[in-house]
Each structure stands twice: as C-alpha cells, then as structure tokens.
Amino acid sequence: MSRIRVLDDILISKISAGEVIERPASVLKEFIENSLDAGAKRISVDLDSGGKRLVRVSDDGCGMSREDALLSIERHATSKIKDEKELASVGTFGFRGEALPSIAGVSRFSLTTRPAQERVGVAIEVEGGKFKGAKDAGCPVGTTVEARSLFFNTRPRLKFLKTNETELSRCSEVARSAAVANPEVDFEVLHNGRNFLRFPRADIQNRVKAVLKNVPLHAVGASSTNGKIKISGFLCAPSDGFSSMTRLYCYVNGRYLRDRFINRVVMECFGRVFEARRYPQGALFIEIPPEDVDVNVHPTKHEVRFLSPGAVAAAIRSAVQDLLSLAPWMTGQKQHAGAPTGAKFFQEKPDNYRKHTAGAGTDEIRNPAGRSAGFDFPSSQSPPRTDDLPATAESFPASGGEGFFSSLKVLGQAGDLYIVCESEKGLVVIDQHAAHERVNFERFKNSYKTDGTLLAQKLLIPEIVEIRPEEAVLFGRFESQMKKLGLNAELFGAAAVRIESVPAIISGASAKQLFVDVLSELDKTGLSELPGEIDRKTEDVLATMACHRSIRAGYVMENSEIRSLLSAMDKCEIPHFCPHGRPVAMDMTYGSLEKMFKRK
C-alpha cells in the first residue's frame, strides 16, 4: 500500500489557511482588500472580542452575481487575473484566489451580496470548509462577508491567539493602513457594538493626519531620473519620532507593505537624525509601473520584489534628503503656491534654497586654541594654516546669502555655548558645537568621497602614545584603514605607537585623543571596502573626527565668527542636525512666547 496519499479538500484548506490566515487581522485585511477591489466608497467593519468571535465587513461595492459568489469560495478562483501575462502586472489587491476559501475552512463563514443589475441577492454559508447552502436574500447593493468563531476547528491555532485587546490592536492597524491610502473611502470600525474608529472621506493629507492623531507632517516628493518611479507622501519632524516603525505606512501602487528593504532605505536616509530607538511617522507612496514590481512573493503580500531596487532606493533618498535639507519644521519653508497637496504631490525646492557643493567658498572661525578652525569648503584639499596668530575680524569674508541661517539676526551668545538669533517668526537658538560639528563632518565627507582618503599632515615632531596591549592588536588590524583617514602611525615597542601624521583638516586636534577615539570607532564599525564610498560605518568614523575639530562649549565667539558659522551652515546638505543626530537649532515662535506670557 502506498504511503503517499492525496489530501482531501478540507485538510488542504486548513493547511492553506495557515499560510494566509494567522489571526483576526489577517481575515480583516483580506475582507477590506476585496471591498476596495470592488470599488467600495464606504466600508463598515464590525468586530467582536478583538475579531476572535466575529469579523464582519460590509461595503457598497459592485457586489457579485449568484454564480460569481459561489465560485468565490472555491480555491484559486478569482476575477482579478486571467492568464500569466496579467500576473506579471497585477493592479489589484487580491489575485491568488486563496483568501476566502482559506477563511471559510477555519471559521463559520457567510457571504451576502447583490450587484446593481439584480433585484435579489444571494447568501452563502460555509462551516469549517463544508458548504452549507446558498439561498436568495434581500440586501442592498454591495457585499457583506463575515467570519465567526475563527479557528474553532483548529484548536492548535486557536490557543496561539493573544488577548482580545492585542487582537483588536492588530485589527485597528489593518483598518488604519487601508484608510491612509484610500482617503476617498469612508471607514468605520465597531467593536462589541461600540464605535471604535471612524475615518470620514478627506483629502490625503488630512486622512494621514487623522490616522496619526494630528502629528505635524511635511510633504515629500521625488521621482527617478527616467520618471518611471515617483515618491510622494508626508513625514514627521525628527522631534516627533515614534517608538517603533509601525507608524510609517509604506505603499507601492496603493498596496500597504511591511517591506524590510523600504524600511531600511528610509532609516538610512534619516541616519542619526532620530534619537536612539525612535522612528519616523508618516506615509510614503511609491508609484511604479506594475510590470516593474513583483507582488507575488508571499501569500500575505506584505513584501514585494523590485526589478530595479537601486532606482527605488535612490528616489526615496532624494525625497527624504530634500526634506531634511529644507527642514520646514525649523525654517518655515512653504511649498509653492498652487502646488497640489496629496499623494500625487511632488515638492519642489523653494526659490531661495540653494544646494551647496564643495567649492562654494571659504569662511573661517577660530578654535579655542586660537588656531584657524576654518570650516571652508575647498574644491580640493590644501594644507592647513601654519601660523599660530589669532584670526581677526578682517580674516572673515563678508557673510550673507539667501539661506535660512544667513538671514537670521544675531542677538548674542548665551552660556558660551548657544547662539541666540531672531527670525521672521520668532527666536532661534543654535548649539555652536553641534553646528560646527555638522559643517566639519560634511567637509570631511566631501573630501573622502572625492579622494577616497583624507590628506595627511606630517607632524614636525612625531608623538609617542602609550596604548594598552589590546589596542595594539586593534591597531595592527586597522592600520591600513587609519592611513586612509590621514592617521599614519607605527608600533613603537609593545605598548606604544608613534604617530607621524594626522588628517590635514584637523591638524590642530590632540593626536593622542584622536588616535584612541578613531581606533575605538573602527573597532565598532570599520570602513567601507569600496574606495570613496560613504556608508554608515565610514560616517561614524568621520563623525568622531568632526567632533575633534569643532569648537567646544565655553568658547566665546565674536560676531564675525558667528556670521561665518551661519553662512557655512547654509552650505551644508543637512544643516539642522549634528552628525550624531542631535538638533543643531531649536526655534520658539512669537506665538508660543505670547502664550507663555499670557498675552493671548
């Protein structure tokens, strides 16, 4: 007798349900997506016990005929695609023909539907995969589908469900993610007979704000060089980060995704801007030709595969980096009058915004030692100043320009650390160390990206630095990488190194402390193996070096030095955060001051 046998349909349905249906939220997702595919403008959700006892979705979509309704509960029966060609360019949410029969196999399932051209609808019942019957039903145009007693016939699956509150939270996230991308649809969610969520029809920006509980959002937009990929959406300021990635809603052609590739690209764009364990909130919409993305990767359709992932990543980076450069939460930059808002909106740079690159000019301030700390942006590296004379006011070229920071009126310095300025809408307080650190970081980054190394400046007298045995081992491992950073050294005995040169652009820093800190950072991250490539690891090391180069708290700045620093900040690609993610500037509007003093 053969040991291999063909499984019966009911057992197959239960196995298939294990891939598609994990919890009540999975059922709700499939029901809502079917309603959206049916062209519904109003979707009503009714849950009981977090969805474990009941998940019901009613819509005003096109409905189904009796024949189509009966076919819909058959495995791999679908109206979404007809052949292999259409599978390669799916434009609907559903297409696999697995969801309804899988749900019907593990619940007490019913479906009531009527199309506009029929006077009578049909009601179908299935219990645990067994067809119970179909009968005529009086009902409005549209479809009502429900699943009761989920996993009643698969006890092992039932015991893995969480508390009612947890399952309700998962269901609410499904409803929210569907609501974000479909602002023209009215969503309503009831739980145990009480109103739980309500999202009336709105424009896309107000819908996103409603879902995120009115978190201040800022429009983003970009497109690929060939125009095939378009990015739009709304993201929060770094100060409004959330404790997880669950409030970043990402969509590809309207399909909600929890795609690790997209999340990783977004987080790489923000870099160190967010505090540790804080993540962006908002909605990001990716529009791409259907034939350039494969949505048939996983039964839950939460992940996709891009034909050109590099182009998608580049478009996302362009959108997010433009937002960070403009920092509308800080500068008050507005989109152009008449530009549309919404998922189709692609923000342009304001007329007064200039993206500065290397070679934009030279401005200098002094470091606490009196030596030139110059945060210039040369087109190519040159040796540092060798004189020890303090710079005078005449050493600084006249600042100015059209950038945000250059336009500020300097009021003074507070606590020998903060620069206090006035803008059109209030006060702006700038952390002088964080600001100078950002300027130096971008200078190092530009130089490293251009040459693949940092120019070394030989010390007149090599410096002997005592190190621990474990640090000597680390130095042997990273000696070649330290040379790329302009730190040339060699072992001097068993417990010391002789430092012969330091990076030319930070020649005034302590060679000993610089060596120890860079060695420690390399131990944690290493450098990119590709010449001139700036990845997160390399940025970590350059950020450490920039900190050594920057002015410290307690340094009293002259007005000319402040003006030069503000001018240099306008030449930075992302001037509003230091390379470690701390804010460079904070603003206090006149409106908030008036409230503080109870003037309004």
pLDDT digits (tens, 9 = 90+) for 161-201: 999 999 999 999 999 999 999 999 999 999 999 999 999 99
Check whether residue 113 and residue 177 sit in a common domain. Answer: yes
Alpha carbon 425 to its chain's center: 29
**Domain ends where: 175, 199, 223?**
199
**Containing domain of residue 297, as a range?**
204-331
Q: Is the pLDDT of residue 540 over 80?
A: no
367: in domain = no
Q: Residue 250 burial by CB count (10 A; 0-12/13-18/19+): exposed, middle or buried? A: buried
Check whether residue 419 and residue 493 sit in a common domain. Answer: yes
**Of 2, 3, 57, whose CA–CA distance to 25 is shortest?**
57
Q: Give the model confidence (pLDDT) of 415-464 as tens digits.
A: 889 999 999 889 999 999 999 999 988 888 888 877 778 888 888 888 89
Kindly state the tokens that stand for 45. 């959700």
CA distances, 434 to each of 42, 370, 551 (Å): 50, 19, 9
Q: Is 413 helix (H, G, I), strand (E, B) or coil?
A: strand
Check whether residue 194 and residue 259 sit in a common domain. Answer: no
Check whether residue 412 and residue 520 sit in a common domain. Answer: yes
Strand partners of residue 588: 427
Check whether residue 171 and residue 236 sit in a common domain. Answer: no
More reliable by pLDDT, 34 or 525: 34
237: in domain = yes
Q: Is the pLDDT of residue 153 over 80?
A: yes
Chain mean pLDDT for the chain: 80
Calculate mean pLDDT across residues 3-19.
64
**Of 513, 382, 538, whose CA–CA distance to 448 is shortest?**
538
- Report the domain count for the chain: 3
65: in domain = yes
Low-confidence winner among 111-120, 149-158, 213-222, 451-460 (lowest mean pLDDT): 451-460
**Of 358, 384, 282, whose CA–CA distance to 323 is shortest?**
282
Check whether residue 241 and residue 317 sit in a common domain. Answer: yes
- 341, 203 Cβ separation under 8 angstroms: yes
The pLDDT value given to residue 94: 57
Q: Is 43 helix (H, G, I), strand (E, B) or coil?
A: strand
CATH of residue 408: 3.30.1370.100
Half-sphere exposure of 59 (CA within 13 A, CB side): 25
566: in domain = yes
Q: CA torsion angle for 403, 405, 406, 409 (degrees, to 10)? A: 140
Question: CA-to-CA distance for 435 and 393, rounded, in angstroms?
Answer: 20
Tokens 């899988």, located at residue? 102
Single-letter residue type at 491:
L
Check whether residue 186 and residue 214 sit in a common domain. Answer: no
DSSP letter assigned to residue 60? -
CA distances, 312 to each of 115, 262, 267, 309 (Å): 40, 9, 14, 5
Other CB atoms within 10 Å distance of the CB of residue 378 = 16
Instruction: Return the axis-axis angle of helices 309-326 and 260-270, rounded to nearest 10°.
Output: 30
Check whether residue 33 and residue 172 sit in a common domain. Answer: yes
What are the DSSP calls for 525-591, one per residue? T---SSTT---HHHHHHHHHHHHHHS--TTPPPPHHHHHHHHHHHHTSSSTTB-TTS-BSEEEEEHH
The pLDDT value given to residue 598: 86
- Say what percent of the chain tops pLDDT 70: 78
CATH of residue 100: 3.30.565.10
308: in domain = yes
373: in domain = no
CA distances, 110 to each of 68, 124, 146, 413 (Å): 15, 5, 5, 71
Q: 185-207: buried (b, 16+ CB within 10 Å) or exposed (e) per residue?
A: bbbbbbbeeeebbebeeeebbbb
DSSP letter assigned to residue 87? H
Check whether residue 176 and residue 233 sit in a common domain. Answer: no
**Of 263, 295, 294, 292, whose CA–CA distance to 279 is shortest?**
263
**pTM for this predicted structure:** 0.68
387: in domain = no
pLDDT bucket at 472, cuts 50 / 70 / 90: confident
142: in domain = yes
Q: Give the model confidence (pLDDT) of 268-305 as tens digits.
A: 888 767 877 788 999 999 999 988 988 877 666 678 88
Check whether residue 187 and residue 277 sit in a common domain. Answer: no
Interstrand relation of 293-294 and 305-306 (parallel, antiparallel or unpaired): antiparallel
Half-sphere exposure of 140 (CA within 13 A, CB side): 8
Sheet of 282-287, strands arranged across: 217-223, 230-236, 282-287, 248-252, 255-257
Q: Give the model confidence (pLDDT) of 205-261 as tens digits.
A: 999 999 998 788 989 888 877 789 999 999 998 888 888 899 999 999 999 998 888
If phi > 0 it is left, if psi is from -120 to 50 it is alpha, else beta; for residue 188 that is beta
CA distances, 446 to each of 51, 314, 502, 508, 572 (Å): 54, 19, 18, 20, 11
E-strand ranges in 216-314 read 217-223, 230-236, 248-252, 255-257, 282-287, 293-294, 305-306
**Domain ends where: 165, 181, 199?**
199
**Domain ends where: 316, 331, 346?**
331
Check whether residue 416 and residue 322 sit in a common domain. Answer: no
Question: CA-to-CA distance for 131 and 124, rounded, in angstroms?
Answer: 8
pLDDT bucket at 337, cuts 50 / 70 / 90: very low
Check whether residue 495 and residue 552 sit in a common domain. Answer: yes
